[in-house]
Amino acid sequence: MRDRMSFTDEELAEIGENKPSATRPDALGWARAWVLHVEKIDQGRALPQSDRSVWTEHDFAAALFIRDFVEAALGRLRPALADKVRECFTAADDLFRSFTVADSGDRIATIAGVDLEGRGWWWFRVPASGPIARDLATYSP
């Protein structure tokens, strides 16, 4: 992920000024969280269900909320700066697409307790394999 050094002081100030509150991450913080969550989910696919470090379907739902927060943070930035921040996590989006398959979203919506109306593409993809895929298989679509 592109680090904060890739941004000018003015861009970093603008990103920081467009946080929803002083206690919430800025767009770069949310982008970094998304990258780390995608990497963790991907790495966990090769682990056995019994491994205590394996994330569950609830952790997966949390990651999807983080991706929502990324998008909301980008919406508070001017388009050119939002595009520059988006470059920080494009590889994570691509990685997420690579190990997930299209899904109705119904199971994860039930788990997360959300309505899918207006949700981003990430809510309609689930891991193709691994412990989270097995967890999700226990829910009726």
pLDDT of residue 141: 65
Phi then psi for residue 101, to 5 deg, are -125, 160
40-51 average pLDDT score: 95
Relative orientation angle of helices 27-44 and 79-86, to the nearest 10 degrees: 30
Nearest to 122 by CA among 109, 135, 141: 109
Q: What is the pLDDT of residues 3-40, one digit of tens each?
A: 667 899 999 999 999 998 888 999 999 999 999 999 99
Q: What is the pTM of this model?
A: 0.93
pLDDT of residue 4: 64
What is the span of the domain harbouring residue 94?
Answer: 6-137
Between CA 72 and CA 64 the distance in angstroms is 13
Q: Evaluate whether residue 1 is within a structural domain.
A: no
Domain count, the chain: 1
Q: What is the pLDDT of residues 58-117, one digit of tens each?
A: 999 999 999 999 999 999 999 999 999 999 999 999 999 999 999 999 999 999 999 999
pLDDT of residue 72: 96
Q: Evaluate whether residue 130 is within a structural domain.
A: yes
pLDDT surpassing 60 at residue 2: no
